[in-house]
Amino acid sequence: MPDLTEPMAAAPHCLPAGLGVDRFCAAMATRGWLVIDRFVDDDLVHRMRADLERAYATCRRLQIANGIALDTEGTLHHLVGQGESFLEFIDRLGPLEPHLQAHFGGPFILNAFGGNILRTSASYASAIHRDVRTYSRELPLLLNTLLMLDDFTVRNGATMMMTGSHRDCPVRPSDEAFAERAEAATGRAGSLLVFDSNLWHAAGANNTADARRSVTPMFSRPLVKPQFDHPRALGYERMDTLSELQRQVLGYYSRIPATLEEWYQPPQRRMYRPGQG
C-alpha cells in the first residue's frame, strides 16, 4: 500500500484508482487525514480565487465594522452564495460522495464553507485547534476538507496536521507535543486535504511574499446543526435549479419546519426528509 503521507495523484474530476472507500476509511481511522492531488482542475481553481477575493472584501468590511478585525484577518466564512464557483464545487464532490457517506454511515450535509488567505500575518487559524467543539472519538460528527487554491508548501504555510491525534488526544496538546507529531499537508493547487475534525491542526507560517489561499468546506451528519442556514440564504425557491447532490449537501432535505403547514406534509415534500439520520 502506498504511503498515505504523500498526495494521491488523480486526474481532475476523478479519484486515484487506489483510493477506494475502504482505503479512505482506513486512512481516516488511523492517520486521520490524506491529500488527494489535483481534485479539481485549473479552471475552477482560477474562478474560485477570483470569487474568494471578492468575498473577502465583503467579509472584511463586516469584520472591521463589528470590531473583530484583529483576529480574523485573512479569514472568510459562509461562501455559498458569494460566488458561483463555490456552489459548483459542491457538484465536484460526486466522486468522493461514497467515501464521505461511508465515513458518516449515511447522508451528510455542508456544515460550514469558509476560506483562508494566509499572508505573513496570522489569524486564529494559526493557533493549534480542532474544528469540532465536542470530542467525539469514533463517532464522526464532522469532517474537514481544504481545497488548495495555491500550491501548499512548507515555506508558504501548509497546514500542519498532528497525525493520529483524533484517536488519542482529547485535550489540546502542548506546543512541544504538537511539534513532535505534526506533518505538513503539502500539495499542488487544486488538491484536496480531507481530515477528521477531531484532529489537532494549525496553519503553518507563510515565509513567502505571496498569499496562500484555500477554501475549507466542512461536512456533518444531517442531524448536526450547521453553522449557516444555506437553504434559507440561497432561497427555498432555488431548490429546483440545483442538482440532487447540491440539494442534499446544502441541507434542503434536512430543514426545520417553522409552521404546522410545513410539518404536515407527505414524505417526499417534508422539510426534513426520511433517511437523513
- pLDDT tens series, the chain, 277 aa: 334 445 555 555 568 878 999 999 999 999 999 999 999 999 999 999 999 999 999 999 999 999 999 888 999 999 999 999 999 999 999 999 999 999 999 999 999 999 999 997 666 778 899 998 888 888 899 999 999 999 999 999 999 999 999 999 999 999 999 999 999 999 999 999 999 999 999 999 999 999 999 999 999 999 999 999 999 999 999 999 999 999 999 999 999 999 999 999 999 899 999 999 8
Average pLDDT over the chain reads 92
Residue 48 forms part of a structural domain: yes
Helix (H) or strand (E) holding 86, with range, is helix 84-91
**Sign of torsion, CA 200 183 190 108?**
negative
Residue 179 forms part of a structural domain: yes
Query: Long-range contacts of range 266-270, CB-CB < 8 Å, 24 or more positions apart?
Result: none
The CATH number given to whatever domain includes residue 86 is: 2.60.120.620
Angstrom distance (rounded) from CA 77 to CA 73 = 12
Residue 143 forms part of a structural domain: yes
Residue 131 forms part of a structural domain: yes
Helix axes 84-91, 42-65, angle to 10 degrees: 130
Residue 133 forms part of a structural domain: yes
C-alpha grid cell for residue 122? Answer: 496570522
Residue 1 forms part of a structural domain: no
Domain count, the chain: 1
Q: Which residues are paired to 254 by β-bridges?
A: 272
What does pTM read for this prediction? 0.92
Q: Which domain holds residue 179?
A: 21-222
